[in-house]
A and B are shown apart, each in its own frame.
Chain A
Amino acid sequence: MSVKDQVIAIIAEQALLDPQDVTLDSTLESLGIDSMGVVESIFAIEEAFDITVPFNANAPQESDFDITSVASIIDGIERLRVQQAPA
């Protein structure tokens, strides 16, 4: 499964939606994912991709990981996978 499909699967599960209803430009807010849902989604992403996501629920906008949309989450994961790849 591609990163995109995996992320969509995670987000769809959290939003109780069919993956087909989650698109790259969907925002977590538009999918009805609240702050606890965001924290759970990030945990699922960390587990799925074996990365550590720098995310503080107190200041989501200041975290070095953009959770605005599905596309921005995928970009963030790609970047972290490069940064955190084992040497």
Chain B
Amino acid sequence: MKRVVITGAGTVNPLGHSVAETCAAMRDGFCGIGPLEIRDVARLQIRIGGQVKGFEAEGRFTRQQITLYDRFTQFTLVAAREAIAQSGLTFEGKLAARAGVVLGTAGGGVSTWDDNYRAVYAEGKNRVHPFVVPRLMNNAAAAHVSMEWNLKGPSYSVSSACASSNHAMAQAAMMIRSGMVLAMVTGGSDSMLCFGGVKAWEGLRVMSRDACRPFSANRDGMVQGEGAGIFVFEEYEHARARGAEILCEVAGFAMSSDASDIVMPSREGAARAMAGALADARLDSADVGYINAHGTGTAANDKTECAAVADVFGAHAERLMISSTKSMHGHLIGGTGAVELLACIMALRDGVIAPTIGYEQPDPDCALDVVPNVARDANVTVALSNAFAFGGMNAVIALRKI
């Protein structure tokens, strides 16, 4: 079985338009959540979100590209450019045929749906732009990455709500491990911060009106964000042979299903995913220094996740650090696991643990070291990234320093 390493990373998210900006913001405990600036916000009850600011399509893309790129695709392409540039790979010849793209997204082109439903239903128009379908389809972002960088191997999108990008990255790692491919561009993206997207979430009554405060006793819900995290996963010997800078190893991963409830999380399902990732990586639970939590800030997730961590790690649960960076960037839905993987890479490479900001009151049901409010220096050799989605679909990735 081949080993898998990460040789490139890129992102656009509410904390920054690059990995460097994002990590700096995470170190500073910067909050990227603020008042939503979207059309018809006055008709929403939930008026905050982690919006990507200062990101205008005009100037970045041509007019023709803009007609084809929904915002989730735009984020993906900018993040992919950063990741592929860092990797130093050029996809030509045999490498092109043995490299592909697998990306997670929950919603795909939600704002394209929203704009065009508005046009035909609210504004009574009887005609839409010819590229509505290729713009909104869930695989649009993956398709444009494959076209832009000549990736000719397996490419597709994966959709498992809030675990989409972790499932996608697990898929990418499996393909490299098996020898099917040499490199994969992977991660995920979502952009649902439009009127219809926020209205749908509002209906579920799990959104906070003022802040995302994971693990804090006074938490009152999640806050939605938007953005993309994109990585280059590469077969270890291939990366080493060309002298590439290796960010870390994808040591293992696991996926599990709760098979119980469409929205309520399961302690047992989450625990099986974490324990499975450790077993897959042949790691001992005591090796784990940091967990980037799913940590949505809902009453149900945070206590269930902490209980699952206690089940898997036993006494070591008290010693490891676990933080939720959603407190800073919000919940990026299908893109969230990818952006959160950056916090794991920062822990391994820079020895900096991103904090859980907005932490105000201890909760006895979340009595772990949640790295409250202030980043911390620590030497970590193994980090886990958790994603537990609606539908009871869980995917956990284990990264190791190399």
The distance from the CB of B221 to the nearest CB of chain A, in whole angstroms, is 5
Pair A52/B45 contact, Cβ less than 8 Å: yes
Provide the bound-state CA to CA distance between A56 and B298, in Å.
10
Pair B45/A57 contact, Cβ less than 8 Å: no
Provide the bound-state CA to CA distance between A43 and B204, in Å.
10
A42 proximity list for chain B (CB < 8 A): 205
Interface size of B in residues (CB-CB distance below 8 Å): 17
Task: Describe B's contact surface by its main secondary structure.
Answer: loop
The distance from the CB of B398 to the nearest CB of chain A, in whole angstroms, is 30
B221 proximity list for chain A (CB < 8 A): 56-58
Provide the bound-state CA to CA distance between A36 and B262, in Å.
10
Chain A interface category by residue count: 10 to 19
Q: B219 interface residue, CB < 8 Å from A?
A: yes
Q: A39 interface residue, CB < 8 Å from B?
A: yes
Provide the bound-state CA to CA distance between A56 and B299, in Å.
10
Q: B378 interface residue, CB < 8 Å from A?
A: no
Contact with A along B197-241 (1 / 0, CB 8 A): 000000111111100000000011100000000000000000000
Q: Which of B204, B219, B262 contacts A57 (CB 8 A)?
A: B204
B286 proximity list for chain A (CB < 8 A): none
Provide the bound-state CA to CA distance between A29 and B182, in Å.
55
Pair B220/A36 contact, Cβ less than 8 Å: no
Q: Knowing A35-B264, A36-B263 touch, does A55 contact B220 (C-beta < 8 A)?
A: no
The distance from the CB of B339 to the nearest CB of chain A, in whole angstroms, is 23
Q: Which of A43, A52, A58, A62 contacts B298 (CB 8 A)?
A: A58
Pair B219/A58 contact, Cβ less than 8 Å: yes
Pair A55/B205 contact, Cβ less than 8 Å: yes
Query: Closest chain A residue to B218 by CB distance?
Result: A59
Pair A58/B220 contact, Cβ less than 8 Å: yes
Query: Closest chain A residue to B221 by CB distance?
Result: A58
Q: Knowing A35-B264, A36-B263 touch, does A62 contact B203 (C-beta < 8 A)?
A: no
Pair A57/B203 contact, Cβ less than 8 Å: no
Provide the bound-state CA to CA distance between A56 and B209, in Å.
9
Pair B205/A39 contact, Cβ less than 8 Å: yes
B205 proximity list for chain A (CB < 8 A): 39, 42, 55-57
Q: Knowing A42-B205, A57-B205, A57-B206 touch, does A62 contact B220 (C-beta < 8 A)?
A: yes
Most chain B Cβ neighbours within 10 Å, of A35, A57, A59: A57
A58 proximity list for chain B (CB < 8 A): 206, 208, 219-221, 298-300
Provide the bound-state CA to CA distance between A39 and B207, in Å.
13
User: Residues on A close to B: CB < 8 A?
Assistant: 35-36, 39, 42-43, 52, 55-59, 62
Closest 5 CB pairs of A and B: A57-B205, A58-B299, A58-B221, A58-B220, A59-B220
User: Residues on B close to A: CB < 8 A?
Assistant: 45, 203-209, 219-221, 262-264, 298-300
Q: List 16 A-B contacts (CB under 8 A).
A: A36-B263, A36-B264, A39-B204, A39-B205, A43-B203, A56-B206, A56-B220, A56-B221, A57-B204, A57-B205, A57-B299, A58-B208, A58-B219, A58-B220, A58-B299, A59-B299
Known: A55-B205, A57-B204. 10 other contacts (CB 8 A): A36-B262, A36-B264, A39-B204, A52-B45, A56-B206, A56-B207, A56-B209, A58-B208, A58-B221, A58-B298
